[in-house]
Amino acid sequence: MEYRSIESYGVVGNRETCALVGPDGSVDWLPFPRLSSSSVFARLLDIDVGGCFCLRPIGDFESNHDYIPDTPVLETTFRGNDGTLRLTDFMPPRAVVRSDTLTKRSLVRRVTCTESEETLSIEFHPRFDYARGETTIESVSESRTTNGHLSEGGIVGYRVTGGDQTLTLWTDADLDVSDGDATGTVTLTEGESRWFVLTEGDGPRPTREDCRRTLDATIAHWREWVGTLAGIEGANRDLLVRSALTMRLLSNAETGAIAAAPTTSLPEDVGGVRNWDYRFHWVRDSSIVARSLARLGATAAARANLNWWLSYLREHGPANEEVLFHPLYDLDALDEETAVESRPDAETVEDVDRTVELELDHLSGYRDSQPVRIGNAAREQKQIDIYGELLLSASELVEAGVTLTEEEWTGLKRVVEHVCAVWHQPDYGIWEVRSNPEQFVHSKVMCWAAVDRGITIAEGRGEPVPDHWFDARTDIHETVCEEGFREDQNAFVRSFEADQALDAACLRIPLVGFLPADDPRVQGTIDAVFDRLLVDDGLVQRYEGPDGLSGEDHAFVLCTFWLVDAMLKAGRREAAVEVLEDILGRASSLDLFAEEIDPMNGEHRGNYPLGFAHAGLVDSVLGLARDASEPVDADEPVATTRYD
């Protein structure tokens, strides 16, 4: 048994948690009941002990999978020796779940024989608490005949327990239980189906009709939401829809918190130590994702995200004297009752803080990439660029016609005041380096954006702007231009301390309005990125220079989309189109993106799917669509012959 490529997986979810399903019909990753909870299946992180839930034909087979259009409902088709099976995987959102038929958190799987006859293999191997806990399974149904087989139409329940957690697997397939595993086979003829429903707690026993109705309701729910989106026409419609759905799955239905990704410790460098837990609510990531959703018409997502941060600041105060916000938080950080509910042994939110970074030494890691980490130590870093993301979000909402409340504006003014006080300090930056803090150029530019947008919002509200806001904006701008630009490189560099090292995040300089795109310094920075950070067609590395970690950092998907956006701003539309086509061609077969791509083999690296990457896709595709009606200047500058 071998590890599958990261990009071969599909993701299903209910806006509370997500599961990753391989083309072999195996659920290899499922934190449950919430995204930041410990895992029930983690074969993705240890193929031997992690646990999985696999439904597939016995013997050899070929398979392919795809989503039901405009939904996150995944269908896998198996062509076996004798017939064809179709596996449908989904997690019904809470809005469509009837409490008398299903618990509010469920993974539902259906296998149907669509041609001839085929024998299904069932392997159910739950392993609680990242495979650290004991697992027991027992039958809890009376729908069996005396010989042990299911009565006609019977649904059997199998109670799964481990520590304080209880799940139930309801199915109309007969399983054998032994040592914490449930396995079986069933031969299906054309038109025949079997259902498998994994639910939280004991819950009601669903009927087959309950399951069919829930599937139909789930499909309708997602198609209705997609129908509210704007700007998704054209050749890239399916990519935009898939990105929108992926970002939506990462946003919590109750709180508006947005996870960076649904996975932990998928390596940036296979066999190396660059393995991180992304199942948290980042100021930066969530703001970028929310703005992209808003650009698709889902303005409520941006408003909910902004309110999450301002509510946290209002209710809990600054993290400390030097930091207004930590870079990331537990997805349940605002909801003490929910947080404690997920850990019955806990008494306070602090007791359930899953952001504390730990290493799971008992797991071998994806393709022996260790350590496997849960939690993320970047929580304790100072990252001053994050405040710019909040003000950019607020500014875009105002431009879209949203009126900020006095309470919201009071919180935003507090953020601007904080930036005025700390912008000159070093930090760990957007890439969360584990080396020493630096005076990162991108961080300063985002501080400028925070103050600039604060001034713009204040002026739009007809309020007086404090003089020191204007002074801070001017000081930041002058300092960045003096300390962050290298004439011999004709480019902005990574930090004030760096003589030559580049940072692709400097491509955001024209995107946030720090300098106009036709400024020679911006054009020079774009050229430098092409020359030194573009490592293959459509693939851009993040930065040069040390970051405190061993191993190799591969091309970062979001940086490519920033390059597309910067070139478009700079009048290089023809080149931007070619770069965009290259990166879009590197999406998975399901139109999903991980964090990074290895230019040597095209394989995806890092956590998957990444909200950052899909936000970048949406912004670039929409940006080019808006620009499409303008003629291309025949004399537009082109950075390299690669995109002539």
Q: What is the pLDDT of residues 540-577, one digit of tens each?
A: 999 999 999 999 889 999 999 999 999 999 999 999 99
pLDDT digits (tens, 9 = 90+) for 584-632: 999 999 999 999 999 999 999 999 999 999 999 999 999 999 887 554 3
The yes-or-no verdict on residue 60 having pLDDT over 50 is: yes
454 belongs to a structural domain = yes
Closest CA to 558 of 594, 525, 528, 523: 594
Same domain, 440 and 463: yes
Average pLDDT for the chain = 92
632 domain-assigned? no
Does one domain contain both 275 and 341? yes
Strands 176-178 and 165-171: unpaired
**The pLDDT of residue 337 is above 60:** no
pLDDT tier for residue 195 given thresholds of 50, 70 and 90 = very high
| CATH number, domain with residue 29 | 2.70.98
Q: Are 280 and 259 in contact (CB under 8 A)?
A: yes
**What's the pLDDT at 642?**
29
The residues pairing with 182 across neighbouring beta strands, listed in sequence order, are: 124, 177
Number of domains forming the structure of the chain: 2
Say whether both 355 and 447 belong to one domain.
yes
So what's the pLDDT on residue 153?
A: 55
| Beta strands per DSSP E along 367-407 | 373-374
**What's 356's DSSP letter?**
S
Which residues 6+ apart lie within 8 Å of 388 measured at CB?
A: 419, 445, 446, 447, 448, 449, 450, 453, 512
Question: For residue 157, what are the CA distances in angstroms to 120, 141, 205, 470?
Answer: 19, 5, 7, 66
Whether 193 and 256 map to the same domain: the answer is no
Q: If pLDDT is split at 50, 70 and 90, which confidence band does 338 have? A: very low
- Taking CA atoms, 82 is separated from 58, 62, 121, 378, in Å, by 10, 12, 14, 52
- What is the average pLDDT across 19-43? 97
Taking alpha carbons only, the member of 45, 4, 201 closest to residue 132 is 45
> Is residue 344 very low, low, confident or very high in pLDDT (cuts 50, 70, 90)?
very low
Residue 639 lies in a domain: no
What stretches of 261-379 show up as alpha helix (H) in DSSP? Answer: 283-295, 299-316, 336-342
The predicted structure's pLDDT at residue 638: 32
What range defines the domain where residue 194 resides? 6-226
Lowest mean pLDDT among 97-101, 265-269, 585-589: 97-101
For residue 629, the model assigns a pLDDT of 54
pLDDT for position 643? 27
Both tokens assigned to 600 = 């040597």
- Residue 577 sits in a domain of what CATH number? 1.50.10.10
pTM metric for this prediction: 0.94
Nearest to 607 by CA among 9, 1, 3: 9
The domain boundary, picked from 226, 255, 282, lies at 226
Q: Among 189-203, 312-326, 369-383, 438-452, where is mean pLDDT lowest?
A: 312-326
Residue 267 and residue 221 share a domain? no
Spatial distance between the Cα atoms of 332 and 308, rounded to a whole number of angstroms? 11
Is residue 519 in some structural domain? Answer: yes
pLDDT at 160: 95
- Judgement on whether residues 261 and 221 belong to the same structural domain of the protein: no
